[in-house]
Structure 1
Amino acid sequence: MTSGPASSPITDELLVGALELERTDRGVLPHRLPAWARAQCFGGQAEGAQLAMAEAQPAGVRLALRTAATTVELDVVRTRKLYRGVPPRPDGVYDLLIDGKLAAQATATGGDAIHIDMSTGESHVERGPAATLTFTDLPAGEKDVELWLPHNEQAELVDLRADAPVAPVPRTGRRVWLHHGSSISQGSNAASASATWPAVAAASADVDLLNLGYSGAMMLDPFVARIFRDTPADALSLEIGINIVNGDTMRTRTFTPAVHGFLDTIREGHPTTPLSVVSPLYCPIHEDTPGPGTFDVEALREGRIRFTATGDPAEAKAGRLTLTVIRDALRRIVEQRSTHDPNLFYVDGLDLYGPADHDELPLPDALHPDDESHRRIGQRFAQRAFTA
C-alpha cells in the first residue's frame, strides 16, 4: 500500500548520465564535465562561457528509479539564458518513461533567468522560485521509472518525492555508450530530452547513454579526451566538425594533428573499445563555406532564429575548414589508423543526414535537425554503430 509522497535523497546512484553532482544552497546541480575540467576551460574567461552553459544543461541525464510509486514529484529550479533581441528558446521538457516507454511530460515554470545583451556583453541574473513537477496515476506495482531532464535548460534538483520507496535501477550488465559532439548531439531542435538522436540511438540499441554533446563546444579539447580515456565504457563515438567550422577555430594544418592526438589519448585507456568517428551531417551553409557562423540578422528582425556562414569559399584553398574538407580529412585519418586499430570506424555523417534528407526535412534554422530528423539520425546511427 502506498502513502503520501515522501522525500528521497537525490544521490549519484539515482542520477544516471552525469559526471559530477554539485551540492548547492538549493539542491543538486548535475554536471557533464567534472570540476577539474571546468577549471581548465573556464578559468573566469569569456571564451569558456559557451561550454559552461552547455555542460550544465543535463542532456542525457535522468533519474532512474525502481519503485512501486504511483505518484512522483520533483522540485526543480531551472535556469534559462535570454538574449536581448533573440527569440527565447522553447521551455525544457521533462520526459517520464516507464519501463522504457514515454508515459508523461512536463515543463517547469519560474526559476532563474540570465538576461544577456550581446551588443554590450552586459548581463544580469533574475532569480526565481522552484517549480514542482507532479506525475500521478502511474501504474501500480514495481517498475522502472526514468525522469529525463531537459537537454536545453539547466536544472537544479531541489527535492524528489514518491508515495513508495525508491531504489536505483541496477545497471549491472548494461553496455555503456560514451558520446561526444556538438549542439546536434546535445539535442538542439529535438522536441524533448528522450527524443535527441543519441537518446533514440541508445534506446534502439539498449545501451546506457553518457552524452557529452556540448552546444557550440566540440573543439577537440584535451580534457574531454582524458575524460574519455578514464571513463569506463563499452562503446565510444565522436561527432566531429560542425563547431570547428562555425567557430572558425582551426585550419587544415592544426585539425589533423588535433584529431590524431584526441584519438591517441582515448586509446591510452580504451585500446580496443569500439570507437566510431562521425563526420559532419549535411549543412548547406557550411558545406563549402568556412565560418565563422552567426545569427542571420534579417531572420532576427522577423522574430526567427536562423544561422548563416560568413566566410569566403575561396579561402578553403588556403586552409580554412569547411564540412567537405573535414569529411575528407576524417576519412583519411580513420583509414590510416584502422590498419593498426581494427576497432576504429568511420561513420559518414551524410549517411545519417544527407542532401536527400535535407530536401525532405530541411534544417529549420539552417544548422540543427528537426525532431523527425533526430529520430531518423538516431535509428540510422544505432544500425551502423551497434548492429554490426
Structure 2
Amino acid sequence: MHSIDLTPGLVRGALELERTEQGLLPHRLPARARAQNSDGRLAMAESQPSGVRLALRTAATVIELDTLPTKLVYTGAPPRPDGLYDLVVDGRPAGQAVAAGGNVLTVDMSTGTAVPTPGPVATVRFEGLAATEKDVEVWLPYGEPTVLVALRADAPAVPLPDRGRRVWMHHGSSISHGSDAASPSTTWPATAAGLGGVELVNLGFGGNAVLDPFTARAMRDAPADLISVKLGINVVNHDVMRLRAFGPAVHGFLDTIREGHPTTPLLVVSPVLCPMHEDTPGPSLPDYGALAEGRLGFSAGGDAAEVAAGKLTLNVIRAELARIVEQRAAEDPHLSYLDGRELYGAADHEVLPLPDSLHPDAAAHRLMGERFADLVFGKGGAFDRV
C-alpha cells in the first residue's frame, strides 16, 4: 500500500485545516471566526465536516482512511447510527463504510452537559475498485467531527485536478447541515450540488444560522462563484431576536458578504415548512415525553399572542426576508429570493412529515435537493449559467 500525504490539496469543502497531534482536522469556519465564538454547539457543528470530502485521482483498487471521529450520544435517546463515509467514483456512488472507533461525546439535553470519552483511531476501507484512472471522492460523515490520521492506497494518488466547476458556498441551519439525511453525499445541498454540477462548500451549522457577523465575514473572505443563505429557523429555535433587530441584522449580514462578493449571484432562501413554528414563536423545546419513549422530538415554547410584541415566527420571517430582498434588488441585480416552502411545503408535509417536528428525513432531503437544482440551477434560476 502507498502512503498518501494528507495535503490541503486533497481536501475540499473546508474553509481551514488544523494540524492536531492526531492528524488533520477540517474546519468549516476559519480560526478568526472560531475565536469570536463562545457557543459550544457551534464549535461542535463547524467541526462536523458536512460537505467535506477527500478528492483524488488514482488507479487504486483499494483505499484506506484512518480517522478519529467524535460520535454523539444523547442521554435517554436511542443510539445514533455510526456516521457514514460515502465513496463517489467519477461522480457516481460507489460504496459506503463506517468508522467503528473514535471518541464519544455524551450529551444530556435536560441539563445541557456534555461529557467526552476518548476512543481509538478507526480505519475505513474501500476495495474492489476498477484498476483504471478515476476521480475518487470520500465524503466524511456530516455529524461527526473527524480528524484525518492517514490515507493509503494500492496505487499512487494525486489531488483531483480542477475540473472548472463553479464553487457554490451555502449557509444554513441543521437542515442544510444534514439533520437526518441518509449519508453525507445525500444531504439536500450535496444532492443539489451534484445535480447542478458545482463544487459545494457547505456552511450549514446545526442550530447556528443566527446571523453571526463572524460567519458573514468568513463568507466574505472565502472564494465562491455562487452564494446562498438560508435564514430563519434557528432565529426562531433560540428566540434570539425580535423583528426590530432581525431586519437590520439581515441587511448587515448581506452587506458583509457583498464586501467580498459584490456581483456574485446571491440567493436568500427563507425557511422550509415547519408547522409548529409557522405562527408560533420559539424557543424550540425538547419534547421530554418523546425522550422518555426513547426518541427525539421538539415542541414550540412560545405563544402566538407574542407576535404583536415583535416575536418571530416563520411566516413573519418569510415576509421580512421577501421585503428586504425586494428592496435591495433594486440596486443589486444579482440578488434573488426563494421561498423555502417551494423546497418543502404543506403538501410535502402530508406525505413526508418531519419525524421530530423539526428536521426532514432522508426522502425529504432528496426531494429538497432535486427541487433546488431544478429551481435554482435550472433554466431561468438564480444560478443558471445564462
Alpha-carbon distance between aligned partners in 2 of 1:122 and 1:245, rounded to the nearest angstrom: 22
Quote how far apart the aligned CAs of 1:119 are: 4.3
User: In the alignment, what sits opposite 1:252?
Assistant: 243
Alpha-carbon distance between aligned partners in 1 of 2:266 and 2:112, rounded to the nearest angstrom: 40
User: In the alignment, what sits opposite 1:45?
Assistant: none
Over residues 121-141 of structure 1, what are the superposed CA-to-partner deviations in whole Å (9 max), with x where a residue is unaligned? 544321111111111110121
> Structure 1: which amino acid aligns with 2:316?
V
Is 1:111 aligned with 2:107?
no
> Structure 2: which amino acid aligns with 1:183?
S
1:37 to 33, 37, 41: 33
> Structure 2: which amino acid aligns with 1:175?
R
> Structure 2: which amino acid aligns with 1:269?
G
Quote how far apart the aligned CAs of 1:110 are: 1.6
Per mean C-alpha deviation after superposition, the further-off stretch among 82-91 and 129-138 is 82-91
Alpha-carbon distance between aligned partners in 1 of 2:194 and 2:117, rounded to the nearest angstrom: 37
Alpha-carbon distance between aligned partners in 2 of 1:362 and 1:121, rounded to the nearest angstrom: 28
Quote how far apart the aligned CAs of 1:368 are: 0.7
User: In the alignment, what sits opposite 1:290?
Assistant: 281
Is 1:154 aligned with 2:150?
no
Is 1:276 aligned with 2:276?
no
Q: Is the 8 A contact 2:15 2:222 kept in 1?
A: no
Alpha-carbon distance between aligned partners in 2 of 1:82 and 1:54, rounded to the nearest angstrom: 15
Is 1:182 aligned with 2:169?
no
Q: Is the 8 A contact 2:109 2:286 kept in 1?
A: no
Residue identity over aligned pairs, in percent, reads 62
User: In the alignment, what sits opposite 1:16?
Assistant: 12
User: In the alignment, what sits opposite 1:338?
Assistant: 329
Is 1:128 aligned with 2:119?
yes
Q: Is the 8 A contact 2:69 2:147 kept in 1?
A: yes
Q: Which runs of 5+ in 1 are unaligned?
A: 43-47
Alignment of 1:1-388 (within 5 A): 5-42=1-38, 48-387=39-378, 388=380
Alpha-carbon distance between aligned partners in 2 of 1:262 and 1:36, rounded to the nearest angstrom: 17
Alpha-carbon distance between aligned partners in 2 of 1:139 and 1:364, rounded to the nearest angstrom: 39
> Structure 2: which amino acid aligns with 1:292?
P
User: CA 1:121–1:293 in structure 2 vs 1: closer, same or farther (change >3 Å)?
Assistant: closer
Alpha-carbon distance between aligned partners in 2 of 1:227 and 1:117, rounded to the nearest angstrom: 31
Over residues 185-213 of structure 1, what are the superposed CA-to-partner deviations in whole Å (9 max), with x where a residue is unaligned? 00100000000000000000000000000
Alpha-carbon distance between aligned partners in 1 of 2:327 and 2:246, rounded to the nearest angstrom: 15
SS in 1 for 2:115: strand
Quote how far apart the aligned CAs of 1:31 are: 0.6
Over residues 238-280 of structure 1, what are the superposed CA-to-partner deviations in whole Å (9 max), with x where a residue is unaligned? 0000000011001000000000011111111111111110000
TM-score, length basis structure 2: 0.96
Quote how far apart the aligned CAs of 1:84 are: 2.0
Alpha-carbon distance between aligned partners in 1 of 2:110 and 2:345, rounded to the nearest angstrom: 35
Per mean C-alpha deviation after superposition, the further-off stretch among 330-339 and 85-94 is 85-94
TM-score, length basis structure 1: 0.96
Q: Which runs of 5+ in 2 are unaligned?
A: 381-386
Over residues 40-76 of structure 1, what are the superposed CA-to-partner deviations in whole Å (9 max), with x where a residue is unaligned? 012xxxxx11100100100000000100000000011
Alpha-carbon distance between aligned partners in 1 of 2:222 and 2:47, rounded to the nearest angstrom: 19
Over residues 321-365 of structure 1, what are the superposed CA-to-partner deviations in whole Å (9 max), with x where a residue is unaligned? 000000000000011111111110000001110000000111111
Quote how far apart the aligned CAs of 1:307 are: 1.0
SS in 2 for 1:41: coil
**Count of aligned pairs:** 379
Alpha-carbon distance between aligned partners in 1 of 2:371 and 2:112, rounded to the nearest angstrom: 41
User: CA 1:333–1:126 in structure 2 vs 1: closer, same or farther (change >3 Å)?
Assistant: same
